[in-house]
Copies of this chain bind each other. A is one copy, B any other.
Amino acid sequence: MSLTVVGTMAFDDIETPFGKSDKIIGGSATFIAWAASNFVDQVNQVSIVGGDFPQSELDALSARGVKLDGVEVKKDEKTFFWAGKYHMDMNTRDTLATELNVLAAFNPTIPASYQESDFLILGNLTPQVQKSVIEQFTTRPKLIVMDTMNFWMETALEDLKKVISMVDVLLVNDSEARQLTGEYSLVKAAKQIMAMGPRYLIIKKGEHGALLFNENHVFFAPAMPLDDVFDPTGAGDTFAGGFIGHLARTKDISFENMKTAIIVGSAMASFCVEKFGVTRLREVTKEEISARLEQFVQLVNFDIDLV
C-alpha cells in the first residue's frame, strides 16, 4: 500500500516575530512527505528541483522510505524559492519574493513504479498539473486528496473546478472556502463545495483548528494550544501529510477513520510549527507522536452527561 505525493520542493526564507530562518528547505511535497513517512513505509514523491537543491536533503528523505524516482532534477536550473514575513498574529503573512524557477515548466511524468499507489495527494499546484497527474494513473487511486489556494480561484477557476470534480477530499482554508462559494457560512460553503464533486471537504482554520465535512456530518479537530507558534510555514501541508499518512497506514477511508486522521494531521502540524521549516518533523519520534495524540484525547474528550 503506497502513497503518491505530488507538490513542490523548495527553498524558503522566513521571517517571524521570533527570528529569521535564512534559506531553508520547504515546499508542500517536502512537508507532506516528512509527515506521512511516519505512518507509511513507501512514499512516492513527485516534484522538481534545481541543481542547487542539496543532495543531503534528498538522501534524508530516501532514508525515510521516500522514493524519489518522480523527482526531476534540472541540474542547470534553480529550485523554486519563496520568501515571506509573518505578522504578530502568525495567521497572516506578506510574500516578499516568489521565484518559480524550475516550477515554471513543471510537467511531471508519473513513474511506472508509482502506478500501484492506492493513495494520491496533490499538494497546491497549477490545476492543470494536478489534473494531468490524476489522468496518468491507469487505475484510479482508492483515495485522491487535493490541496489548492486562492491564487488558482482568481487565475484558473474553470480548470480548478474540473480537478475538484475529480477528487475525493478537498482541502481549503476558511477564506478560500468563502471565496470559492461566495458563502460566508462555512456550513453552507461546505455543502456547495461538496456539490462540486468531493465527497469529503476539510476546511482548515489555522490556529482555530479544522472542520471535516461529509454529507450532513461534520467533525472538528482543534489545533493544539501551544506556548508559542514559532513558524507556521508548512503547517497546512504537514496536516495533510499526517491525514493521508494515517489513512494509508490503516487502509480505512471511512468517515469515522477520517476523524482520527485529521487529529493525526493536527498533531503533526503542532510539531511542525515548533521550529523553522521541517526541523521538528525530521527529529520527531513515534513516542512523541503517540504522546501528542494522547494530549489531543485529553484536549477534546468529555463525559456524556445528558440532561
Contact = CB atoms under 8 A, between A and B. Distances in A.
Interface of A: 38-39, 88-89, 184-188, 205, 208-209, 211, 217-222, 225-229, 246, 250, 256-257, 259-260, 263, 286, 289-290, 293-294, 297-307
Contacts of A217: 298
- Copies of the chain in the assembly: 2
Contacts of A256: 302-303
Contacts of A290: 306-307
B300 A304 contact: no
B187 A226 contact: yes
B306 A294 contact: yes
Chief secondary structure at chain A's binding surface? mixed
Contacts of A302: 219, 221, 256, 259-260, 263, 300
Contacts of A186: 225
A252 B187 CA distance: 35
Contacts of A89: 184
Nearest to A299: B220
Contacts of A306: 290, 293-294
Contact of A307 (B227, B228, B293): B293
A208 B222 CA distance: 9
A52 B282 CA distance: 67
Contacts of A301: 259, 300-301
Contacts of A286: 307
A196 to B, nearest CB: 19
8 contacts: A88-B184, A89-B184, A185-B226, A188-B228, A219-B298, A257-B305, A290-B306, A293-B307
A248 B177 CA distance: 41
A265 to B, nearest CB: 12
